[in-house]
Structure 1
Amino acid sequence: MAQREQWGSRVGFVLAAVGSAIGLGNIWRFPYMAYENGGGAFLIPYIFALLTAGIPFMIMEFGLGHKFRGSAPKVFRSLGSKWEFLGWMQVLVAFVISVYYVAVIGWTINYTGFALNQAWGADPKGFFFGEYLGLTGSPMELGGIRWSILGACTLAWGVTWLAITSGVRKGIERACKVLIPLLFVLVLVLIFRVVSLPGAMTGLDFLFKPDFSKLADFSVWADAYGQIFFSLSIGFAIMLAYSSYLPKEADINNNAAMTVFINCGFSMLAGVMIFAVLGHMAHETNQAVSDVAGAGVGLAFITIPTAINTMPAPVFFGTLFFLCLTMAGVSSHISIVEAVSSSFIDKFGIDRKKTASIVCGLGFALTVIFTTGGGLLILDIVDHFINNLCILSLALAEIILMSYVVGLEDIRSHANATSDFTVGNLWNICLKVVTVGVLGYTFIMNVITDSGTPYGGYANADLIALGWSLLPVAFILSLVLKQKQAAPGFSNNR
């Protein structure tokens, strides 16, 4: 069997891991989560979650990937052949994410061009939903293909294909060495520009002014843990694959801590950038910051363009902002597709270029659905259930398996053996008690909420077809893939 590829340097690996973790959610989800959950006070549960769940889980996944030298299915098979299906479930969820996530990257690419002349006009909301998306009235009413979106998605898939087929060192590592430093530079340039605008400090005060009464609400703590898990790319195959390319002497614990801290630091920077802009927008339109604050797609493609219209040098800010979104999205997309591709390479021994071409080709074909008039509605349902049901359930299954079935001691010893600092019993407790408890609570509450009230007011038939069915379908397909004959070297260790 061919020798496994390796990262060219520690910096290259950390930047790639950070590139995976830093995605669109850091920019449009974290600021709103902080604002909604106590402002500056939210940093207390957020940092607590970072220390008790983010870093411990990352160390565990880095340790697993490094020890068993494989993608998610190979790692879980190494823990016991009956657990291989769990790795495939993570891979299939990652594949679904890659299919719709690239549609949003396509939007950011288009909007980078729109920013050159504020093509969204005086009514960014009407432009986005109408002229640009051609939004239909139902997820099952696809409408026509929006060709500008399809073209941008083609470009994004092409960049990902090029990075994956070029290999770990020459493709992914090189891409992330350019994308991530440039992303940080652009965000810092934007912050330097926007904090001097009228009203910016009001926006920052609104974001960071602490409301300590929120700390008594357990849902705030659950949201902090949820944000950590959603933003770190843990629990769905990516970090297992990336860490499998580390050299044998790699510092597991330090790499994990650096990845988590850099990712969370970027979230803080994004919060400063977004709320400085919102503060200026509120000042210019004589509104309260609370009236203009938002999250998700609406923030990125409606609120920010509206804010850009009120700013001096709108071309400068608009172009850089959407470039930042594009780079954050592309670096994450590369990591997601690598997690999928590496799994099929490991299992079936197919060469990298052929595997990546099949994965990217199939992914692109399915992405076409999200470039139609009903694409946003389909994306909304799929993304909700992927985040609130699939990722949480698989991360919970992984941590329960490791904590109470397989045991954490071997992985802890393996990680400590090559690390500058070691983790002890407190690490075990954080994973077995804190992480299991919070993930379990959050998952159960999500299921109860979605079972009681149809998400987004969509028809139950749409929610079943596009949402509730995802996990059962992934389970069935994972069993099929598990039964397929593997290439020599896949069933190693145990």
Structure 2
Amino acid sequence: METSKRGNWSTWYEFMFSCIGCMVGLGNIWRFPYVCYKNGGGAFLVPYFIFMFLCAMPLIFIELTYSQYSNLGPGKVWICCPLFKGIGFAMITLTCIVSLYYNVILAWTLFYLGNSFFPTIPWGNCNNDWNTPACYTRGSSVNDNTSLFSNSTTNVTYAALNSSTTVTSLYKPKPSTEEFWEYKVLELSDGIDDVGVVRWELLLCLFFAWLAVFLCLIKGIKTSGKVMYVAATIPYLFLIILLGRGLMLPGAVEGLKYYLIPRWEDLKKFSVWGDAAVQMFYSAGLGWGGIATLASYNNFNNNVYRDAMIIPVIDILTSWFAGMVIFVTLGFMAHEANVHIGTVVKDGPGIAFMVYPEALSKMPLPQLWSILFFFMLFTVGLDSQVGFQKSLSA
């Protein structure tokens, strides 16, 4: 059954790549690693995999089935049972809210992308006007950083990376990547009472992010389906390259052990299971309407059971693989700082914007790899955002 008004996918591959693009996004490469790190690494993988197989697969099958059968998007499909109309409205509302902050993350990636063109990677050193006297780069000694304190009359805290020496101060030592994230990208204020000013650089990046979404959707699925061939495959190429480079760094094996070997006692914590369930819904995009919208453009006889098996498995493997890239870098960072991997960085949404840049700055031609990586990260978020916008208009 086809509809000339809404159109259908030209091939099954366009649908599959669009689903991969919609489901595999920043939730896998950005959110999954920091949630995993927060919950102790390997222990988090066990409940996450369990929830993906027991919950995600059946729910994805349901979303694919009712949308493909009706050839309607989430806003209209519940016409079959008016009592459930609120579900469709809730899915659209949720997608609208998520889309707003999702593009903010895309703006951050564009900001990093723009800074990657500088002759010197700005997050790779402490010689910038936003750096504090306690800034350091991993792998350097105290003597390499003494010049940072020469013009300061304030006592400074600096813990030597390769010794037990500590100088008491007002500043907490932070690596250059963390200071770039907090003081240059976000320009964190002292508190909620200080809202700061509008960052014109980020505002411009946000505009270009929305412009890219508009251009991808300007002619409906006929253009977006073709875009997904590239947008859904580029991330895997660069993740493989980054993993290969990361495995060559000292301490990478320890990072993999922390990630892949569960500490079974952590499974007794309710927070680990709770975060795994939340991440499963976030990563799989359940209830948001994106997958349902894409399925509504399928031909009536498409093998929906096959698709419901393939899509979650790809999502799981992508999250798992992206986590490996993050944790080999965390292992290197812990090795350089001579600390336990569980304390090498603060957990939080900024971890991907501190760990990945750290790895990029250690690679030959860091500007080139930074440009390619953040362009890849932008395409990852873009294809998910395109899926969200489709569900709003379906």
Q: TM-score range by the shorter chain?
A: 0.7 to 0.9
Aligned: 1:272 with 2:324: yes
Q: Which amino acid aligns with 1:264?
A: I
Q: Structure 1, residues 191-216: CA drift from partner, whole Å, max 9, x if none?
A: 11211111111111111122122334
Structure 1 vs Structure 2: percent identity of aligned residues?
30
Could you tell me how far 1:66 is from its partner in structure 2?
A: 0.8
Which residue of 2 is the match for residue 46 of structure 1? Answer: 48
Residue 254 (structure 2) pairs with residue 202 (structure 1)? yes
| Greater relative CO, 1 or 2 (CA 8 Å, sep 6+) | 2
* Cα displacement string for residues 220-267 of structure 1 (whole angstroms, at most 9, x for unaligned residues): 333322221110111121122111001111111111211111111110
* In 2: Cα distance, 1:298 partner to 1:179 partner: 23
Offset of 1:77 from its aligned partner? 2.3
> Of the candidates 66, 82, 86, which is equivalent to residue 68 of structure 2?
66
Q: CA deviation at 1:113?
A: 2.6
Report if aligned partners of 2:245, 2:363 keep a CA contact under 8 Å in 1: no
Aligned to 1:279, the other structure's residue is in SS state: helix
Answer yes or no: is the 8 Å Cα contact 2:69–2:296 preserved in 1: yes
CA RMSD of aligned residues (A): 2.2
Against the structure 1 CA distance between its residues 23 and 111, is the aligned structure 2 distance closer, same or farther, given a 3 Å change threshold?
same
Partner of 1:30: 32
Q: 1:432-477, CA deviations, whole angstroms, 9 ceiling, x for partnerless residues?
A: xxxxxxxxxxxxxxxxxxxxxxxxxxxxxxxxxxxxxxxxxxxxxx
Question: Residues 312-327 of structure 1 correspond to what in structure 2 (within 5 A)?
Answer: 313-327=365-379
Counterparts of 1:402-421 in structure 2, within 5 Å, are none
Q: Say whether 1:84 aligns with 2:136.
A: no
Query: Which residue number in structure 2 is paired with residue 75 of structure 1?
Result: 77
TM-superposed CA distance for 1:139, in Å, is 5.2
In the other structure, the counterpart of 2:152 is none
**Which residue does 1:339 correspond to in 2?**
391
Deviation, structure 1 residue 142: 4.4
Give the structure 2 partner of residue 235 of structure 1.
Answer: 287
Quick one: which of 236, 252, 265 aligns to 1:184?
Answer: 236
* Count of aligned pairs: 340
Partner SS for 1:73:
coil
Name the one with the larger helix percent. 1
Normalising by structure 2, we get a TM-score of: 0.80
1:393-408 correspondence to structure 2 within 5 Å: none
Deviations 1:157-181 (A, max 9, x none): 111111112211x222111111111
Report the alpha carbon displacement of residue 329 of structure 1 after superposing the two structures with TM: 0.9
Match of 1:419 in 2: none
Contact 1:201–1:279 (CA under 8 A) maintained in structure 2 = yes
Q: 1:315 to 1:284 in 2, by over 3 A?
A: farther
Gaps of 5+ in 2: 127-175
1: CA distance, partners of 2:20 / 2:254: 31
Distance 2:187 2:38 in 1: 31
* Structure 2 residue identity aligned to 1:90: M
Checking the alignment, whether the CA contact within 8 Å between 1:68 and 1:244 is kept in structure 2 is: yes
**Does the CA-based 8 Å contact 2:42-2:258 persist in structure 1?**
no
- Map 1:99-178 to 2 at 5 A: 99-116=100-117, 117-120=120-123, 121-122=125-126, 123-138=176-191, 142-168=195-221, 170-178=222-230
* Cα distance in 2 between the residues matched to 1:198 and 1:205: 13
Q: 1:40 to 1:125 in 2, by over 3 A?
A: closer
**AA in 1 matched with 2:26:** L
TM-score by length of structure 1 reads 0.64
> Per-residue CA shift, 1:303-340, capped at 9, x if unaligned?
44345445554334433432332121111111111111
Deviation of 1:56 after TM superposition, in Å, equals 0.5
Name 2:339's counterpart in structure 1. 287
